[in-house]
Chain A
Amino acid sequence: MVSRRRERLERGIKVRTDDVYALCSTKEMLYLVAPRLIPILVLLLLPLILPTYWQKVVIFTGVFALLSISWDFLYSFTGLVSLGQALFFGVGAYLAGSLNHYFDISPGLTIPISTIAGATLCTLFLLPALRLRGIYFAMITLVLPLIFLRIIEATAILGGTDGLTALAPLPGIWIELYLILGIMLVALFALRRLVNSDFGLVLRGIHDNDQAVKGAGINIYWYKAQALFIAALLGSFAGAYLTHVYMFVGLSAFALDFTVVPIAATVVGGMGTLGGSVLGAFILVPLSEVLRAFGPLRIVFYALLIVVFIILKPEGLFNYLQRKYREFERWVEV
């Protein structure tokens, strides 16, 4: 009997492009550049031909992609499991809404202010939980948005259950579209660079082994807080931005969707890649538009996807595709 074994080999072109040799020919250059360039081009050109309804979907997807990047950054590089992306989102959203509603500040200012102030607030809220390891951070992040929701509901502050309405819109659909897509791309590439910098190495060190990082004379709380602040920046921006797109902010800003969808997108797309989060968001959010008729069943669907991917395919789509792009498989007899 001949037994067979599957063998994985790097593609020739992958090896040829590993070093400066990539500059040899256009084909090699393309091999390197295409996986980044083509999605970016598609992303930037697609909205031009989409009908208005789907343009809105792209906006929505961009928002979730930002939240997903933020989640993956916290989870894969700092080891903090956030069950409350809705916290970042909601705080940013309510700040922008309040600034516009009560102080009549224009979106051009409310969005940057709320992004920074929201991130600061969220970091302060979660600071006490950073001293603890394990599941405390997850617990607190899950509890906080729900408590804020209850408080707003019960005390009727910030518009109570009605929310704040008739807020200032952004000037036109094109600004809306390219603002979110631009920020998303900038965030993606900036974070990908950050996690490979020395700063990112320290974060990954903390994830791997926080005691050893302490032993190396580095204050891990300070680094965790910075990472948290960065993640919260993305979330708060998403919240502030969508508030002005909707011209409304209400209790739905703390809804579980903003927590679940980013997790699902990242788990499906591939954790630890950041790009996978975006990929996941661009698969799941449009898909859920298609499934709109099923209402709450969408969340069930997302939730089940998370469970299935976590236990059966933890590497996610992005890593899978990347592997296929770089390597090929063949059966060999042994």
Chain B
Amino acid sequence: MKEVPLLQVVNISKQFGGVRAVDGVSFELCQGEILGIVGPNGSGKTTLVNLLTGFIKPASGKVFYKGRDITALAAHEIAGLGIARTFQMVRPFYHLPAFKNLIVPLYSPRVKRLSGGKFGDRDAVAIDLLEEVGFERDSFVPYKPASALPHGYLKRLELARCLALRPALLILDELFSGLSMAEVASTLPVLEKLQIEGITLIMVEHRLRELFRLANRVIVLNFGAKLAEGTPQEIINNEEVKEAYLGSEAV
């Protein structure tokens, strides 16, 4: 008997006015996998992430998580099931200090449930998490208001905020874009560690080199539709994919 996939997306679609942002996309994802999603700008990657996480409702199609239909659930309910996502356009709580940003997910019903109702010092946990994604523990950085942090830190704050939710499936929307080489290099081990811990990852990425190193499987979107799916090696050698990427650049 085949085991139930962690995430199952069936023929999902969404239009904005005339634009078919996501057009009949289907795929499956197994526990522990790292799935890469790539595609030219505007090919519907972020929209797909929004559909999976309930931030936008699909026009048609279904999403199953551990065999359960979650298409109609609200965004916070989906997050509560353990599907966390980062935002491509960072969305920190600007007026709060960086570490207080993590209090919000730490205060969520999910974390309360997982920690058995009693929760010690949220601030301490928040600082630990920030250190994990590369905030210097003994500096002022974790205590600065988010509005005073440079972009690289805000991106990693997004990641830390997801980790605070103790996700089972983590969806990263272009986490690496805007990060320096050094920051990318220091963030990669975090993701590798997550994989070892058994957390499933979906990575939307433009930085193909890093992505292809991590991912087990890659999906290519073009004009909202799935153009190709396969191992990184297969994708690199796929003629159609080359054309979609080069074609869009050659214009």
Chain A residues packing against B (C-beta within 8 Å): 198-199, 201-202, 204-205, 207-209, 211-220
Contact = CB atoms under 8 A, between A and B. Distances in A.
B79 A216 contact: yes
A211 B107 CA distance: 16
B95 A216 contact: no
B95 A215 contact: no
Nearest to A210: B91
B108 A218 contact: yes
Contacts of A217: 76, 79-80, 84, 105, 108-111, 165
B73 to A, nearest CB: 11
Nearest to A214: B75
Contacts of B91: 209, 211-212, 215
A204 B93 CA distance: 8
Interface in B36-91: 53, 55, 74-77, 79-80, 84-85, 87, 91
Interface of B: 53, 55, 74-77, 79-80, 84-85, 87, 91-96, 100-101, 103-111, 122, 161-162, 164-165
B85 A198 contact: no
A211 B55 contact: yes
Q: Determine which residue in B53, B76, B94, B96 has the highest number of CB atoms from chain A within 10 A of its CB, and name it.
A: B76
Q: Determine which residue in A209, A215, A220 has the highest number of CB atoms from chain B within 10 A of its CB, and name it.
A: A215
Given A204-B93, A208-B93, A209-B93, A214 B107 contact: no
Nearest to B101: A205
Nearest to A219: B76
Given A208-B96, A211-B87, A212-B87, 4 more contacts: A211-B91, A214-B75, A215-B85, A218-B104
A315 to B, nearest CB: 15
A34 B93 CA distance: 33
Contacts of A205: 93, 96, 101, 104
A57 to B, nearest CB: 36
Nearest to B105: A216
A205 B146 CA distance: 12
A216 B96 contact: no
Contacts of A214: 55, 74-76, 79
A306 to B, nearest CB: 23
Which are the 9 A-B pairs with shortest beta-carbon distances? A217-B79, A216-B105, A217-B108, A212-B91, A214-B75, A208-B93, A217-B80, A205-B104, A214-B76
A14 B96 CA distance: 22
B96 A215 contact: no
A198 B108 CA distance: 10
A208 B100 contact: no
Contacts of B122: 198
Contacts of B105: 216-218
B55 A198 contact: no
Contacts of A202: 103-104, 107
A217 B85 CA distance: 10
Contacts of B161: 212, 215-216
Contacts of A219: 74, 76-77
A201 B96 contact: yes
Contacts of B79: 214-218
B75 A204 contact: no
Nearest to A201: B103
Contacts of A209: 91-94
Contact of A198 (B93, B94, B103): B103
Contacts of A201: 96, 100, 103-104, 107
18 contacts: A198-B106, A201-B104, A202-B107, A204-B93, A205-B101, A208-B94, A209-B91, A211-B75, A212-B87, A215-B53, A215-B79, A217-B76, A217-B80, A217-B109, A217-B165, A218-B104, A218-B105, A219-B77
Contacts of A218: 76, 79, 104-105, 107-109
A84 to B, nearest CB: 26
Contact of B107 (A198, A208, A212): A198
Nearest to B95: A208
A193 to B, nearest CB: 16
A216 B91 CA distance: 11
A212 B79 CA distance: 11
A194 to B, nearest CB: 13
B231 to A, nearest CB: 30
Contacts of A199: 107
Nearest to B86: A215
